[in-house]
Structure 1
Amino acid sequence: MSVGQPLPTHDHVARIQQEWARERPDVDVRPQGVIGRVHRLGMHLTDSILEVYAKHDLGEGEFDVLAALRRAGAPYERVPGELAAHTMVTTGAITKRVDRLERAGLVARRVSEHDSRSRVVALTEAGREVIDRAFTEHMENERRLLDGLTDEQLAQLESLLTTWLAHFEA
């Protein structure tokens, strides 16, 4: 939908709400209007985002690990605990992701200079090239996904989502 087009007056979620309101008038179905649409948007967004990652032979977890290393700045390295704290990947999943990325030549492990029992994960030059290309395409894709909204709507949506998310992540 492009900017300036009228909003749909009836969508999939609205139809479901109407059916429930008819069948269960005793239950307030208004929350379904928000939650149902957020859920459906999430599915559409995830599909589109994963397509971009796949073009670079990355899964969501691998992308997150490479991105966390790249965001660390030179020399683009972190210990596994830091990686878990700076990604959307659980600590248990970090090892699997790093193993795969290491086999692909995108990261390397080394012994920490500060603690010989600890390992450091670092981007290789190939890893930096992959994440730079993938991140550029990822941001272009996210921009495209938001094209139906005005700058004012984007700012309002971001503010609302930030407030809502804070209730879960406080």
Structure 2
Amino acid sequence: MEQDAVDRILEQWQRERPDLDVTSMGVMGRLTRASRLASLDLQEFMSQFGLEPWEFDVLATLRRSAAEGPLTSGQLASLTMVGSAAMTNRVDRLVARGLVRRETNPHNRRQLLISLTPDGEALADEVVEHHVINQKKMLRGLSKSEMSNLADLLRKFLLSHDDAGKS
């Protein structure tokens, strides 16, 4: 099998510290490198649409949650895994771009509800179609069976870190 950069790192550790079992380092190193490569690809891909990845994340979250109605800032922050202060800033920027709207909750005047504008919905729908195609290109080295196995293993990893139900 062809070696990747992590294999070379593991060989160096094996040479310098043969007493260590660095199997976990190989897994974590590959997860880290794969995450970085995916992030760089996503950044480049989203720039074609004039978006930052975080902007698409917010738009996509609102779009996939549309049937549930507008989301509170707290719900949106939880679903996108960012803090409430960061979410406020993100929503402000997307409101300024005319992609989301913020309205007072009629049932709780202290709470704001966030939803997509028609322009935001149209952009989310356009980009998500291309995003799925781009993700398939990123995974082109894996068969469907391998993708399924990898997804299962990553799910198991995430669940072992109490990630159930978090988005």
TM-score by length of 2: 0.90
CA distance in 1: counterparts of 2:101 and 2:138, whole angstroms: 34
CA distance in 1: counterparts of 2:162 and 2:51, whole angstroms: 27
**What is the aligned partner in structure 2 of residue 4 from structure 1?**
none
**Contact persistence 1:70–1:76 (CA under 8 A):** no
- The worse-fitting range, judged by mean Cα deviation, of 75-84 and 132-141 is 75-84
> What's the % identity of the aligned pairs?
37
**What is the aligned partner in structure 2 of residue 67 from structure 1?**
60
Of 7, 21, 31, which residue of structure 2 is paired with 1:14?
7
Which residue identity is paired with 2:75? E
CA distance in 2: counterparts of 1:58 and 1:150, whole angstroms: 30
Runs of 4+ in 1 over 4 A off after TM superposition: none
Which structure has more RCO (C-alpha within 8 Å, separation ≥ 6)?
Answer: 1
**Contact persistence 1:61–1:89 (CA under 8 A):** no
1:103-124 deviation digits (Å, cap 9, x = unpaired)? 1000111111111222111211
Which residue identity is paired with 1:45? A
CA distance in 1: counterparts of 2:113 and 2:18, whole angstroms: 58
SS in 2 for 1:117: strand
Deviation at 1:139, TM superposition (A): 0.9
Check if 1:79 corresponds to 2:72: yes
CA distance in 2: counterparts of 1:89 and 1:58, whole angstroms: 18
CA change 1:71–1:83 in 2 (3 A) is: same
Of 96, 99, 106, which residue of structure 2 is paired with 1:106?
99
CA distance in 1: counterparts of 2:79 and 2:141, whole angstroms: 30
**What is the aligned partner in structure 1 of residue 26 from structure 2?**
33
Deviation at 1:74, TM superposition (A): 4.8
Of 120, 123, 130, which residue of structure 2 is paired with 1:130?
123
Q: Unmatched 5+ residue regions in structure 1? A: 1-6
CA change 1:74–1:30 in 2 (3 A) is: closer
